[in-house]
Structure 1
Amino acid sequence: MLKRLTAAGVARKAAIGLLRSYLRLAIGTTRWTFDIHPDAHPLLTGQGALVAFWHEALALTPALLWWSTSRNPALRPHVLISRNRDGRLIADVIAPWGAGTVAGSTDRKGKDKGGAAALRQLLALLRTGTPIVITPDGPRGPRRQVEQGVIGLSRLSGAPIVPVGGWCANRRLGGWDRMMLPLPFGRGRIVCGAPITVTRANQDTAPARLAAGLDAAMHAAARNRAGAAQRLWAALATLLAPALTLLLHRRLARGKEIRGRLRERMGLTPRPRPPGKLIWLHAASVGETQSILPVIARLLARDDTLRVLVTTATVTAATLLDQRLAATREGARVLHQFVPLDVPRWVGRFLRHWRPDAAALTESELWPNLVEACHRAGIPLALLNARLSDRARAGWSRVPGLADRMLGRFAWIAARSTLDATRLRALGAARIGVEGDLKGAAPPLPADPVALARLRGLLADRPVWLAAATHEGEEEQIVRAARQIRARHPGLLTLIVPRHPERGPAIAASLDHAPRRAAGREPGPDDAFWICDTLGELGLFYRAVPIVFIGNSLPGPGRRGGHNPLEPARVGAALATGPLTGNFLDAFARLGEAVRTVPDADALAEWVETMLADPTRAVAAGQRAQAASQADATLPDRLAARLLALMDVP
């Protein structure tokens, strides 16, 4: 046992020596630039202060400590560490560099880890003018969220807090904080911001002020690197502007743009900005637009002087918005424009015209030029229902400086799930929390009662099922399943609702010119298929046909991720999906076994036959799905309140 302990001790000493030597090499060979606020200079060289770094920059602290001691050789800065293995490692690594340590912290569950003794020691050191390095989000996070300990220590001691940011050539480690491991022979920058003083009167706002100061220092330190990535992105978009103009005209020819409104995609609009307060919400397509409608309603209800500008990227989303708002009293206070493409000049035109008081993007609509333009114009920006697929995460990871800068521009990010929040934090998102899925909080899709009664009458006395939100190529598998079912149920009618209604004519033509709802044709007794290629009627079809397959989920080229299962679940439909559900993992997990997963057309046919053969079983499946889909009705109002608060931020 003694030999093992001795061997372990030797190995630990060797590891510490190796790490210390590496950090000395990396930091010592880096060409550092120090940008020290004039008010912070005396505090760092003998007057004493709490020197705050985000935990991710902890490995860069020796650079600032060496700067301080070079100006005051008698100075011996201290670092507050935790009483765990990591803390002991830090203490051993920095011990020969003339820095002391204070061990002890209070974790978020309130368990005292030497906190009282550490507090006495810290207060004594601060009285002697010793700088104390502290990480407000350490030792375990959440990343870039200020804990109360540093605020309380500043108030008790009277010592100001100096927010510090650092950057150098580095590799990011994979922990909760994405710590920077410095690389040798590069360039680096340390930025010390204006000191923050905490008093009893301002202690409630101190965490937000400190977080903002630390973020500003981090961005200032990394400005050259991230700025180069941003400038490159902007230059590429500008160079591609002529090609993007041609792309818009091609989309126009395919019915994906509106001729009289094409210039909106270049940031131009003939519509004047209304007077008074204006908040801008962007939703790319139909799903995102449906999810923000309750937020819009709550915004307008909370402030009867407010106007809301909604931008979308698709014609179908614009049409849906018009349909949903036309019958509402508040609809006149909502304006619509197509969002400009992410070209700096086009985005600039858009913002100069509308001058929103605050803005919010939705889900994964992350456009660096647009986000940067909002920041420069002083427009506070939020991200609602934030999500990030694994594919998108991998893409943004290739441009980490650009992603970190862009995500750092958001005043706050409301992630739809813990997984999405984790992925966004890994890219640099700091002010982020898990609020829940807006699509999960939406009310049931509407349906006209008269149209519903007529549709139920039309479909009565024959077996029927619905394939909803299908994508190109998926209909072939649905038709195969339908023909298998029809062998046992000769009167079967299959309703196909394509995700993109403009595909309706092509689908109908492939099925011997099956009747199309958009063309005003209804199915006769001998028709096996009905193409329901209208917009905004899914609520009608889900109620009339309670056996539903959710599209974009069967394996095939270009298909991935599924669609929102909560919409049919809320009206009591029995549900099946293919195995591809990555875009709505939380929603499908919430429904659990209330949704049947079918791997292919044969399994889909078997499931539909089971539902048709036993209607009571279909009803029970729908009831289970409906019970599991109950919404968090308070989420839209909570987000609306946070958005309105953004407008009051100076």
Structure 2
Amino acid sequence: MLKRLTGAGAARASAIVLLRAYLRLTIGTTRWTFDIHPDAYPLLTGQGEQSVLVAFWHETLALTPALLWWSIARNPTLRPHVLISRNRDGRLIADIIAPWGAGTIAGSTDRKGKDKGGAAALRQLLALIRSGDPVVITPDGPRGPRRQVEQGAIGLARLSGAPIVPVGGWCASWRLGGWDRMMLPLPFGRGRIVCGAPIAVTREDQDTARANLTGALDAAMHAAAPAPARAAQQLWAGLATLLAPALTLLLHRRLARGKEIRGRQRERMGLTTQPRPPGKLVWLHAASVGETLSILPVIAELLAQNASLHVLVTTATVTAATLLEQRLADIKGGTRVIHQFIPLDVPRWIDRFLRRWRPDAAALTESELWPNLIEACHRQRIPLALLNARLSDRARAGWGRVPGLAARMLGRFAWIAARSDRDAARFRTLGAERIDTPGDLKNAAPPLPADPTTLAHVRALLAHRPVWLAAATHAGEEEEIAKAARQIRTRYPTLLTVIVPRHPERGPAIAEGLDNAPRRAAGQEPGPEDSFWICDTLGELGLFYQAVPIVFIGNSLPGPGRRGGHNPLEPARFGATLATGPLTENFLDAFTRLGNAVHIVPDADALAKWVETMLADPARRTEAGQQAASATHAASTLPNRLATRLLALMDAC
């Protein structure tokens, strides 16, 4: 194709003008998506400690300006060079791309004793690489065979020590009829550039090195081409967009039910009047109370390590927002923390949120996997991590029904810090690669706080009667707890059952169902005739874990909407004797760690029998509590290490 345009004089000049104008139009009007491996990003933007070889298959040569523009836009001082052949085609290419900030080196591998300028080009390329300039090569050029790496590319990488970044490209295009079936872009289409992990070429067998590079380039091409995963992502985004009006109505219903805060429900659509503070900003998202508690030590470490940093924290629930506000008063630098409610996973709402806050790095927590949010962060070049990552078998099976979407989503994370080897294995089955297991943040959490004066008052209030605690209960469990309590009262008539619901707004309904039991949120305390006390306040579990030595952990009895239990380490730290229902999968490692210190009760009858045993045998109760406490040594350095990794992620962007 190019030979027809490589004549001399006016014809050649016209060809250059036409091709240059055409590429400007097509590449400039193409809507590009860049998928850059985190390890390749600093190399492609001149921020690495060494230069880089950027490798395309020859068929994507016409797409090279898109990546050049992307790199130079992020570092205008870059001076990339493209290795071209020393024939007429190569010279034409050099003239076409000359205005776009890239130099050229002419030469290719010498063959059959014929000098193609390879040796001279090699010397120039080594000099450029040593000076820090990136070099673009086509390992199968200039004449093929197609998609077969020639020895010159491997030799250059070995001699220079520069890593190779494999690049794949795709766009709406015509395929030309030459040996390489070169892509000729079409205007106003879509395109994608994928840059894989850098490859270091050592003194390994040359055939092995060529095979590795061939595989990496083919993988990048496959990733760049349209795939079912992208179709699934687009379908997800389209459905969310169509559902946006219904979601707006849902927010109004949630507001009426007290699940949103009046005046702040628009934050769920990415709207806010709060300004972004100047300087660096890290965004952490924690869905509910448990996740918020787990990241509080990380927030404290972030603020301590960077005195000018601001931290944006988003939650999905009002209770988590209230808890965060309470706990920030105890964190040095807490005034540099901003809270917002997370937007629902509608592309337009997420984009609006990200444009407002422009975080320098972001971290989601545990199992918060929202495809549109993750895709938007990737599109806007916001490096993303997943903290304390957990994935149940149920969730893994769900994502397994859309494996391409799951792999695409998990591939967007710069790194994933799993809470356990079991969770890491589940993530890997869905395609996660950059994942490790530093530990569970919930193991590193400090003991839940309690006001000393209030604790002394509650202890005095409960001192002269048998008492037990049902903590973090969910809808439907209170009926089972009441059934157990009535059985126990046949032997202990003055028994008091303290119920702390996971969601305090359920307090009035629970109290009404239990003969209008007193409610702590209403300022009421139990009298001698009261069988139940509903403690529907927020952030006081630490108070009751210290005041009541017998604790049942909720969200664990079989029933609709209940699964997985709650964190048993929180009461264990205070030496409480513990029981749980059989549903413990959300904290399986923590329950395994506590072992026989936690008693499993399948139903109300078994729960009543266990409470009676603990009330009747204080020595046994104390021994079980001490066994639980001894298993809760905190992994105190984990928040520090995760904060350091997040700050490094921010600095690398």
TM-score, L = length of structure 1: 0.71
Q: 1:388 aligns with which of 386, 391, 403?
A: 391
Alpha-carbon distance change, 68 to 553 in structure 1, aligned in 2, over 3 angstroms? farther
Shift of 1:616: 1.6
Q: Distance in 1 between matches of 2:245 and 2:262?
A: 18
Shift of 1:159: 8.8
CA displacement 1:146-175 (0-9 Å, x = unmatched): xxxxxxx965896964637799xxxxxxxx
CA displacement 1:290-326 (0-9 Å, x = unmatched): 0000000000010110111100000000000011113
Shift of 1:425: 1.3
Partners of 1:468 and 1:497 within 8 A in 2: yes
1:601 corresponds to: 604
Q: Determine if the alignment matches structure 1 residue 310 to structure 2 residue 313.
A: yes
Give the percent of matched residue pairs that are identical in Structure 1 and Structure 2: 76
* Equivalent AA in structure 2 for residue 529 of structure 1: F
2:558 corresponds to: 555
* Equivalent AA in structure 1 for residue 441 of structure 2: L
Q: 2:447 aligns with which of 440, 444, 460?
A: 444
2:255 corresponds to: 252
* Equivalent AA in structure 1 for residue 533 of structure 2: W
Q: Distance in 1 between matches of 2:411 and 2:504?
A: 38
1:71 corresponds to: 144
1:570 corresponds to: 573
Partners of 1:360 and 1:382 within 8 A in 2: yes
Q: What are the equivalent positions in structure 2 for 1:467-506 lying under 5 Å apart?
A: 467-506=470-509
2:242 corresponds to: 239
TM-score, L = length of structure 2: 0.71
Q: 2:322 aligns with which of 311, 319, 323?
A: 319
1:537 corresponds to: 540
Q: What are the equivalent positions in structure 2 for 1:181-220 lying under 5 Å apart?
A: 217=220, 220=223
> Helix, strand or coil: the match of 2:561?
coil
Q: Determine if the alignment matches structure 1 residue 298 to structure 2 residue 371.
A: no
CA displacement 1:83-131 (0-9 Å, x = unmatched): xxxxxxxxxxxxxxxxxxxxxxxxxxxxxxxxxxxxxxxxxxx9x7697
Shift of 1:193: 6.8
Q: Distance in 1 between matches of 2:193 and 2:325?
A: 51
Partners of 1:40 and 1:192 within 8 A in 2: no
Alpha-carbon distance change, 458 to 190 in structure 1, aligned in 2, over 3 angstroms? closer
Partners of 1:45 and 1:68 within 8 A in 2: no
Q: Distance in 1 between matches of 2:305 and 2:402?
A: 40
Q: Distance in 2 between matches of 1:190 and 1:339?
A: 30
Q: Determine if the alignment matches structure 1 residue 410 to structure 2 residue 413.
A: yes
Shift of 1:191: 7.7
Shift of 1:428: 1.5
1:274 corresponds to: 277
* Equivalent AA in structure 2 for residue 646 of structure 1: L
Q: 2:367 aligns with which of 364, 369, 377?
A: 364
Q: Distance in 2 between matches of 1:540 and 1:648?
A: 40
Partners of 2:300 and 2:331 within 8 A in 1: no
Q: Distance in 2 between matches of 1:472 and 1:215?
A: 53
Alpha-carbon distance change, 493 to 351 in structure 1, aligned in 2, over 3 angstroms? same
Partners of 1:295 and 1:637 within 8 A in 2: yes
Q: 1:524 aligns with which of 527, 536, 545?
A: 527
Aligned residues: 501
1:348 corresponds to: 351
1:457 corresponds to: 460
Shift of 1:220: 3.7
CA displacement 1:381-423 (0-9 Å, x = unmatched): 1100111111111111122221111111111110111111111
Partners of 1:344 and 1:373 within 8 A in 2: yes
Q: Distance in 2 between matches of 1:546 and 1:271?
A: 44
Where does structure 2 lack aligned partners over 5 or more consecutive residues? 1-56, 65-81, 86-106, 112-117, 123-139, 171-191, 204-212
* Equivalent AA in structure 2 for residue 292 of structure 1: I
CA displacement 1:550-596 (0-9 Å, x = unmatched): 00111111111000000000111100001000111111011111111
CA displacement 1:188-216 (0-9 Å, x = unmatched): x998879866699xxxxxxxxx9xx8899
RMSD between aligned alpha carbons? 3.4
* Equivalent AA in structure 2 for residue 399 of structure 1: V
Q: Distance in 2 between matches of 1:624 and 1:489?
A: 26
* Equivalent AA in structure 2 for residue 493 of structure 1: L
2:629 corresponds to: 626
CA displacement 1:471-490 (0-9 Å, x = unmatched): 11111111111111111111
Q: Determine if the alignment matches structure 1 residue 339 to structure 2 residue 412.
A: no
> Helix, strand or coil: the match of 1:489?
coil
1:178 corresponds to: none
Q: Distance in 1 between matches of 2:309 and 2:419?
A: 26
Alpha-carbon distance change, 395 to 34 in structure 1, aligned in 2, over 3 angstroms? farther
> Helix, strand or coil: the match of 1:647?
helix
1:431 corresponds to: 434
